[in-house]
Amino acid sequence: MGMKVKVLFGIMVSLLLVTGCRTAYYSTWETFGVHKRDLLKKKVVAARDEQKAAGQEFKSALTRLKELYGFEGGDVEKTYNALKKDFDNAEARAEKVHGRIKDVETVANDLFVEWENELKEISSESLRDSDRNKLRETRRRYDELHTALKQTEKSMDPVLIRFRDQVLYLKHNLNASAIASLKGESMDIQSEISKLLQEMNTAIARADTFINSLP
């Protein structure tokens, strides 16, 4: 399969998942020997990579806010434009993180439902018990990952709301005194971003652990 064909195929099957045609989505992948377990791994990898990209955007925002805190005169409009760009980038990445997490949740839920149902089809008690233990362990690791992902998702929105407040305030008050008045707020947001970055690193580590646990 050529690179262009692979890209078009990936877009097609992704659209099937987004539009809710999950049966067709899974069937299409299975014709190529890719099953729900494989898809979950792919979705977790994508969510992890999106977390990393979002982390870089929030790091840039943190750096910009520190520069804002130390502002001692200069081009106020330039400072605002840079801050606005950082906010837009962080907001866009956060939206993508939300989407990636939703994809993980959808495939994980479908995988576990299928796994539970197929356990009933195993006639050998010993094999059924062994498979059930594997399901239980996979679900445990997934729950740890999911908790970490949801924590970062929960933390991103309040940070973005406060960040947006500052950007809008500066838009309407482009002067040095306005920047000075935001220093206290900026310190609070810096602390929240630092905490968010720690949570993102935890989620990334959980994702790596989960990915490595899958065959």
Same domain, 84 and 189: yes
CB 46 within 8 A of CB 211: no
pLDDT of residue 122: 96
Same domain, 2 and 77: no
Q: CA 193, CA 61: separation in Å to the nearest integer? A: 8
Least confident of 19-23, 35-39, 145-149: 19-23
3-state secondary structure of 132: helix
pLDDT of residue 8: 45
Same domain, 184 and 99: yes
Same domain, 100 and 141: yes
- Average pLDDT over the chain reads 87
Stronger pLDDT, 72 or 141, i.e. the higher one: 141
pLDDT of residue 139: 96
pLDDT tens-digit map of 54-106 = 999 999 988 888 777 776 666 778 878 888 999 999 999 999 999 999 999 99
Domain that holds residue 5: 1-34
pLDDT of residue 52: 96
SS3 readout for the chain: CCHHHHHHHHHHHHHHHHCCCHHHHHHHHHCCCCCHHHHHHHHHHHHHHHHHHHHHHHHHHHHHHHHHHCCCCCCHHHHHHHHHHHHHHHHHHHHHHHHHHHHHHHHHHHHHHHHHHHHCCCCCHHHHHHHHHHHHHHHHHHHHHHHHHHHHHHHHHHHHHHHHHHHHHHHHCCCHHHHHHCHHHHHHHHHHHHHHHHHHHHHHHHHHHHHHHCC
Same domain, 75 and 179: yes
Same domain, 30 and 44: no
Same domain, 12 and 51: no
Q: CA 147, CA 120: separation in Å to the nearest integer? A: 29
CA 143 distance to own-chain centroid:
15
Q: With cut-offs at 50, 70 and 90, classify the pLDDT of residue 5.
A: very low
CB 199 within 8 A of CB 155: yes
Same domain, 175 and 84: yes
How many Cβ atoms sit within 10 Å of the Cβ of residue 26? 21
Same domain, 137 and 195: yes
> What are the backbone dihedrals phi and psi of residue 2, each rounded to the nearest 5 degrees, phi first?
-65, 165
Same domain, 104 and 187: yes
Least confident of 72-76, 77-81, 162-166, 202-206: 72-76
pLDDT cut 90: percent of the chain above it: 59
pLDDT of residue 2: 52
Same domain, 65 and 26: no
pLDDT of residue 185: 76
Same domain, 102 and 1: no
Mean pLDDT, to the nearest integer, of 138-154? 96
The structural domain count of the chain equals 2
